[in-house]
Amino acid sequence: MDKERLKQIIEQVVIIVEGRDDTRRLKDVFGRSINTIETGGSAIPESSLSIIREVSLNSPILIFTDPDVQGERIRRIVSDFLTHQTGEKDIVVYHAFLRRQEAVGKKAHQSLGVEHASDIAICQALTQALEGYVQEPISKDKPEGGQFATAKDIRELGLVGGADSKVKRQLLGEKLRIGYVNGKHFADRLALAGITRKILYDALLSLETTVETTNNSENLSDVDKQTTASSLLKEETHEG
């Protein structure tokens, strides 16, 4: 999707961000017609949630928060809130994710943030959220038809309970742009991001060689293995 087409789509949604710097950054990339709602941090006031609810009745919502603990908390609060506000009308919610390394500030000790991301990283994150994956309205029920991976699938794929499960989830989190998620919540995050079972299988298959190479590094600690795996993934992504 080219930038102009992406801009046209984004102008039809309302983007949930954390603060004014994020709004300013998105307007730098896409122009002043972009609509955002700023949560002002993870302690989201009831008034802000009410505004989000009212807006969601007429416009799709796209949640685009920082790839850190606070950003994850905001994403969960807003998503859970909207899930319980569906009523008779489905609310369409998209989720855009930045990789941690894409959100690092240029100055030392700056926290991770959307405002630090490059134009390319922002466009890639929003494109993935709005195109290429299956997006469906949030509902109070689990998706039907076996579209998304279940907890059983996650276990059978070795994404929990194995010696290399954490490394696999880290690599998949990078490749699929959903961040690192523990085994307990991995299936939920996949569904949240609209990542189908097929997309997960294909991504895991493409990473098998990377994970195998990492695990064959006998003298590496778990931390070093994860660092090596991430380096291999960056090389793979760059070459692709």
* pLDDT more than 90, % of the chain: 36
Output the average pLDDT for the chain: 80
pTM of the predicted model as reported, rounded to 2 decimal places: 0.73
pLDDT tens across 108-165, in order? 778 889 999 999 999 999 998 887 444 444 444 444 445 888 889 999 999 999 998 9
Q: Mind listing the pLDDT tens digit for each residue in 180-197?
A: 888 888 988 888 777 888
Whether residue 225 has pLDDT greater than 80: no
Residues 110 and 155 in one domain: no
Ramachandran angles phi, psi of 2, nearest 5°: -75, 165
The answer on 75 and 38 residing in a single domain is yes
Residues 96 and 12 in one domain: yes
**Helix segments in 57-177, DSSP class H:** 69-83, 119-130, 151-156, 165-176
Q: What share of the chain is helix, strand, coil (3-state, %, to 5)?
A: 55, 5, 40
Q: Which residue range is the domain that position 177 belongs to?
A: 151-239
Say which residues have a Cβ less than 8 Å from residue 109's Cβ, sequence separation at least 6: none
Q: Is the pLDDT of residue 2 over 60?
A: yes
The SS3 of residue 38 is strand
The answer to the question of residue 174 being in a domain is: yes
pLDDT at res. 148 = 85
Q: Is the same domain home to 188 and 112?
A: no
Question: Can you give the pLDDT at residue 29?
Answer: 95
Tally of domains in the chain? 2
- 72-88 pLDDT, tens per residue? 899 989 988 887 765 55
Tell me, rounded to whole angstroms, the distance of Cα 36 from its chain centroid.
18
Residues 158 and 126 in one domain: no
Answer yes or no: do 121 and 167 share one domain. no
pLDDT score at 31 = 94
